[in-house]
Structure 1
Amino acid sequence: MAAPQVARLISRRTHALPGQLHVTELFFEVPENYARPEAGTLRLFGRKVTKHDRPIVPLSDSNAAEKEKLPYLVYLEGGPGFGNRAPQNHALTQVALNRGYQMLFLDYRGTGLSTPIHADSVLARGGPQQQAEYLRLFRANNIVRDLEAVRLCLTEGLDADKQAWSIFGQSFGGFVSLTYLSKCPRSLREVYLTGGLAPIKRTAEEVYAATYKKVIERNAAYYQKYPEDIPTVRRLAEYIQASKDGAISLPSGGKLTVQLFLTLGIAFGVHGGLDVVHSLVLQLATDLDHFNHFTPASLAAIESQIPFNTHPIYGILHEAIYSTKQMGAPAPNWAAHRVGKTLQPFSWLANPATLLESNAASEPLYFSGEMIYPFHFDGTAGPELARMREAAELLAANEVWDDDLYDEEQLRRNEVPVYAVSYVDDMFVDFEMARETARLVKGIKVHETNGWYHDAVRSKSDEVFSTLFKLRDDCID
């Protein structure tokens, strides 16, 4: 990675929040393209959090200044394509502050308040080729460059031993962490990972061949728990298919087709996800019982489970997170679709018209998981993705990437402490592939469990944080 550049701090505003939080809202300016810094800039938004203390005796200026020198713990969100929740709504905040860190929540480029990606901003770049080149700038390699630029800005003037910071990567945030660990290990004091041991030696096709197996298992668990949903899901699919042009208009402009309906299985990968899908199925069926159509509230509830129209990076770059220059792998080329349509439970990907031909109402219809398909870009998932379809097609066909995301040799000689939680029943990050990556990273400590799912950092936060910090603090037995 080229010599890092320092982010320019544009503004900072500090506020006291309930829960004894001192939150500073920060805007930075960084190059849009680090290889061509003269080409323009992007803005990054972050929130720095320290304890808001009200001591009996006011702090002296020197003591107050010491709070600015606390070691940073930077939270890296999952995705790709999602910004951070407010610090007061994040379970990690108080845990980190109580352990002597100051927190930084930095929205990745293109997400949250960091010059967000949307159709107008992409189409303004020119034709589809120019749009695709612009979107390529939002992968993990440039996210790490942004993090480095911000680190140099925030730690400027500190003693050398306080300039490195700690990072905490959840899911895709773990992928970013491994890129960071590959490229700039001296900038890191320690790394925490939850569900984020990226399959760095595997192609997108291999990833989906593995994760579809887990999706099938979760579908079986769903119908075992809610057997009454077997005929109900089929009834809902038949109603959607019988609608005009086989679609129902969604509030944001998308189209509820049978294919889109069956992508609701993405929820199966998180705690309570089976129940979320059942509740939505029950709500839709009740609509038909009462009104013989789906209500606006129910259609909005469906959209809330498939938020790609408002988080387009997730759809556009999802398969690209598995593509690296070093791997020399073929283009993603809609790997999830290519793999899925060869599997009988997901034959609706190959020909949705045949989905309901079977008269066996007892035969369950299987939902897909964390997969992106070409039909997401035909207007089904919303107008934002549809407007960027040509650029998405170019990225799917891309075989040459400008940078390696990982340095396997660096990971093999790693000296940065790494603590990870890995989930046996993870529907999004295959457990065996995660193990393969863990074996590559020198010195990593991993807690493996079949008791939690991919979102345990939110759903089981107390247990996850206790486990991670025990890996950090406890001695070898």
Structure 2
Amino acid sequence: MATSGPAILDIPPAKLISSKSHVVPGQLLVTELFFQVPIDYVAGGTITLFARRVTKHEVPIFPPDDEPAPKPYLVFLEGGPGFGNREPQDHPLTRPALARGYQLLLLDHRGVGLSTPVSNDMLTLVPGGPDAQANYLGLMRQDNTVRDCEAVRKCLTENWPERKRPWSIFGQSYGGFISLSYLSMHPEGLREVFLTGGLAPVGKTPDQVYQATFNRTLERNEAYYAKFPEDVDTVREIATHIESKGGSIPLPSGGVLTVPRLLTMGIAFGGHGGFDNVHSTLLHLKASLEQFGFLTRASLVPLEGWTPFDTNIIYAILHEAIYCDGPGTTSSWSAYRVGKALESFPWLTPDFSVASTSGPLNFSGEMIFPLHFETYPELKPLTEVSQKLAERDDWPALYDQEKLRNNKVPVYAASYVDDMYVEYEFAKDTASLIKGTKVFETNAMYHSALRAKSDEVLQNLFSLRDDVMD
């Protein structure tokens, strides 16, 4: 693991390319912002970033005598990696943030959303073939996202008084990983940090991460089959049908359904309502088989969009890289190696057949395997690139543990005891590492609680900030 922190570079202000505002029903004034920043803060080149700034739309009876003072920024950092922000009117943080006196900035991370989004076609424009494409993708991790945030902050607060220029950030899941890198690299840019399911496993190797999350996933499988015991036979019936068709069934949008791909649906087990969503999809597939003897297009469409890797490829191709903290750390398909060694996941071995097993077929969780690059049409051309990233051993450092131990920025975190994606025991270690961290812990919520139980989560988080402990 890394012995020193991330490189601290001189960050120039982002260049504001365009700014367009419009009013959204519900009294929201939304400003769409495009910025230009370096693609590589050492070697140069440029990339475009996109953000939406949200304030309350007000119509005063009398025109104000003076220009009102700007409200402090709260920047939301989405999870993933690989996902852009939803529309402000649909975001769980919008109204609570505005009610507490912030203006909200929904910043799409580089390579996702509208921030020069990465796709297979886009990567063909990167000259130099797979090596250059792998290098380009390597610039999409949390260290450079921190630098992007700093560049945008300097741009947006350029004319503000110095003491008001630091801003607040709110990291959900992987957004929390970015937040901890931010504390390691540029704490001077931060006023406060809010985290939900985002206490990253600082100091842990990729193998340690997946050993822990596979254990959590097994617990969730047991709970799933306890709730839907009939699905033990349903899953085996669908898997047997897939094998009877040569092991793969074409999907409507060009990918293929294999038994392993079917069993990756367990990624949903870590969120509220995930069990029911998986069961509903399986029920649809089972009904199609029983009524027609084949899987209809209508039954396959929901399944192929289960994990949107064809539109959000960074999630698949960089997922293990976000755990590689510094030179000497390589992922080497960590989840695949760890899972393949477990008796509970025999379908990860090449010679697997349904008939050779009995009992429940366990689903995997938030893990990426080489098989994903065989079954998703957008990922298949990137097989060589993904292998290069899996073998890379010179990743830049992501965290500075010494800085985190001496942290001076208030950190308020929601941590979920039964989190299937971010191991709770590792999260506790990280919370203990970061000086000044206050944590709300619960075993009554899952990783997606910011969306599923937003009022409760946000009330507890802001209470951590506002309440006094003697």
Q: Does 2:55 correspond to 1:46?
A: no
Cα distance in 2, alignment partners of residues 168 and 398 from structure 1:
30
Which residue in 2 is equivalent to 1:221? 223
Q: Does 2:373 correspond to 1:372?
A: no
| CA apart distance, 1:253 | 1.1
Which residue in 2 is equivalent to 1:232? 234
Q: What is the DSSP-based 3-state SS (H/G/I as helix, E as strand, rest coil) of the residue aligned with 1:214? A: helix
Cα distance in 1, alignment partners of residues 259 and 138 from structure 2:
31
Cα distance in 2, alignment partners of residues 301 and 113 from structure 1:
25
Question: How much is the aligned-residue C-alpha RMSD, in angstroms?
Answer: 1.1
The aligned length equals 462
Counterpart pick for 2:393 among 388, 399, 402: 399
Q: What is the DSSP-based 3-state SS (H/G/I as helix, E as strand, rest coil) of the residue aligned with 1:388? A: helix
Q: Report the more deviating stretch, 217-226 or 124-133.
A: 124-133
Which residue in 2 is equivalent to 1:122? 123
Aligned partner letter, 1:451: A
Which residue in 2 is equivalent to 1:31? 38
Q: How does 1:9-88 map to 2 (within 5 A)?
A: 9-37=16-44, 40-63=45-68, 66=69, 69-88=70-89
| CA apart distance, 1:61 | 4.9
Cα distance in 2, alignment partners of residues 427 and 51 from structure 1:
36
Return closer, same or farther for 1:59/1:290 CA change in 2, 3 Å cut-off: farther
Aligned partner letter, 2:463: K
Q: How does 1:274-423 map to 2 (within 5 A)?
A: 274-325=275-326, 328-329=328-329, 331-351=330-350, 353-358=352-357, 360=358, 363-378=359-374, 380=375, 382-401=376-395, 403-423=396-416
Counterpart pick for 1:426 among 404, 419, 437: 419
| CA apart distance, 1:351 | 3.1
Cα distance in 2, alignment partners of residues 297 and 22 from structure 1:
39
Which residues of structure 1 form unaligned runs of 5+?
A: none
| CA apart distance, 1:58 | 2.9
| CA apart distance, 1:465 | 0.1
Aligned partner letter, 2:464: L
More helix by share: 1
Cα distance in 2, alignment partners of residues 166 and 131 from structure 1:
33
Q: What is the DSSP-based 3-state SS (H/G/I as helix, E as strand, rest coil) of the residue aligned with 1:305? A: coil
Q: Does 2:210 correspond to 1:208?
A: yes
Which residue in 1 is equivalent to 2:4? none
Aligned partner letter, 2:369: Y
Which residue in 1 is equivalent to 2:189? 187
Cα distance in 1, alignment partners of residues 353 and 290 from structure 2:
26
Counterpart pick for 2:442 among 444, 449, 466: 449
Aligned partner letter, 1:306: T
| CA apart distance, 1:352 | 5.1
Cα distance in 2, alignment partners of residues 158 and 410 from structure 1:
27
Q: Deviations over 1:44-103 (max 9, x none)?
A: 01000000012222334523xx2xx11000000000000000110001000000000000
Q: What is the DSSP-based 3-state SS (H/G/I as helix, E as strand, rest coil) of the residue aligned with 2:272? A: coil
Aligned partner letter, 1:350: T
Q: Is the 8 A contact 1:123 1:388 kept in 2?
A: no
TM-score, scaled to structure 1: 0.95
Which residue in 1 is equivalent to 2:428? 435
| CA apart distance, 1:356 | 3.0
Q: Is the 8 A contact 2:236 2:354 kept in 1?
A: no
| CA apart distance, 1:448 | 1.0
Cα distance in 1, alignment partners of residues 144 and 355 from structure 2:
45
Aligned partner letter, 1:106: L
Which residue in 1 is equivalent to 2:3? none
Counterpart pick for 1:155 among 157, 162, 176: 157
| CA apart distance, 1:344 | 1.1
| CA apart distance, 1:353 | 2.7
Q: Report the more deviating stretch, 182-191 or 125-134.
A: 125-134
Which residues of structure 2 form unaligned runs of 5+?
A: 1-7
Cα distance in 2, alignment partners of residues 304 and 61 from structure 1:
51
Q: Is the 8 A contact 1:258 1:352 kept in 2?
A: no
| CA apart distance, 1:304 | 1.9
Cα distance in 2, alignment partners of residues 341 and 218 from structure 1:
18
Q: Is the 8 A contact 1:259 1:352 kept in 2?
A: no
Q: What is the DSSP-based 3-state SS (H/G/I as helix, E as strand, rest coil) of the residue aligned with 2:286? A: helix
Cα distance in 1, alignment partners of residues 420 and 290 from structure 2:
33
Q: What is the DSSP-based 3-state SS (H/G/I as helix, E as strand, rest coil) of the residue aligned with 1:384? A: coil
Cα distance in 2, alignment partners of residues 60 and 334 from structure 1:
61
TM-score, scaled to structure 2: 0.97
Which residue in 1 is equivalent to 2:248? 247
Identity among equivalent positions (%) equals 56
Cα distance in 2, alignment partners of residues 306 and 92 from structure 1:
24
